[in-house]
Structures are given as C-alpha cells and as structure tokens.
Amino acid sequence: MDLVIKEETEETEDPCNNFEEVEQLLYDLQEVTYTTMTVKELIYICEYYKLDINFKRFKKHELIQLIICFESDISNFEMVSRRNELWRYLNVLKSDSYMKRFIIY
C-alpha cells in the first residue's frame, strides 16, 4: 500500500516547478556557451543586438548576463534566431579552407 501512495505523489508533482527547473537549465546552458567565447565575441553579439552600452564598463560575466537577458525576452525572438543563423553561416565559412581567407572576424 505504501508504494502505491508514494508513486501517486511523485506523479502529481507541480508542473510549475519543472518549468522553473527547465528554465534554469537553459540559462545555465547559455551561460556555459557564452563563457567559452572571448569578450570581443560577446561585444560583437551586443553590437549585433544594438545594445547601447559602454562595453569597457562591463566585465565578461556581466556581458553574458546582459546577452542572456536580451535573448530570453520573447519580443527579441526573431532577432536572436537571425543572429544564431548568421553565426552558424559564419562558422561554416570559417571552417572552409578556402573561404576562411575572406572572413575578417
């Protein structure tokens, strides 16, 4: 009898808690991704998003938080998607032995 009761209580877990956990996991994943980038690359992203800030005033982890905050806003979804798409294209060009000569970035 005890096992059945335990199973039922585990299944009725509050879905809001799962959403918060998933949201935190996504935030952590983004943070890890951006941590591997240089400050210069983070500034490129901020410039693409037209974030009007004084970059010299911010430290790397602050830039990362700023970018994640911007990208988490649903109203910026199209711009974020476009940037991700263009950055993938850029990486493809940089990985090509011939085309990488033409990429200044």
Question: In this predicted model, what pLDDT tens digit does every residue of 47-105 receive, in sequence order?
Answer: 999 998 888 888 999 998 899 989 988 999 999 999 999 999 999 999 999 999 998 86
The answer on 52 and 37 residing in a single domain is yes
The answer on 60 and 92 residing in a single domain is no
Q: Is the pLDDT of residue 28 over 90?
A: no
Q: Is the pLDDT of residue 5 over 70?
A: no
The answer on 80 and 56 residing in a single domain is no
Q: Is the pLDDT of residue 26 over 70?
A: no
Q: Which domain holds residue 30?
A: 2-72
What residue type is assigned to position 8 of the chain? E
- Residues 29-55 have pLDDT tens digits of 677 778 889 999 999 999 999 998 888
Count of domains forming the chain: 2
Predicted structure pTM score: 0.69
b (16+ CB within 10 A) / e for 68-100 = bebbeeeeeeeebeebeeeeeeeeeeeeeeeee
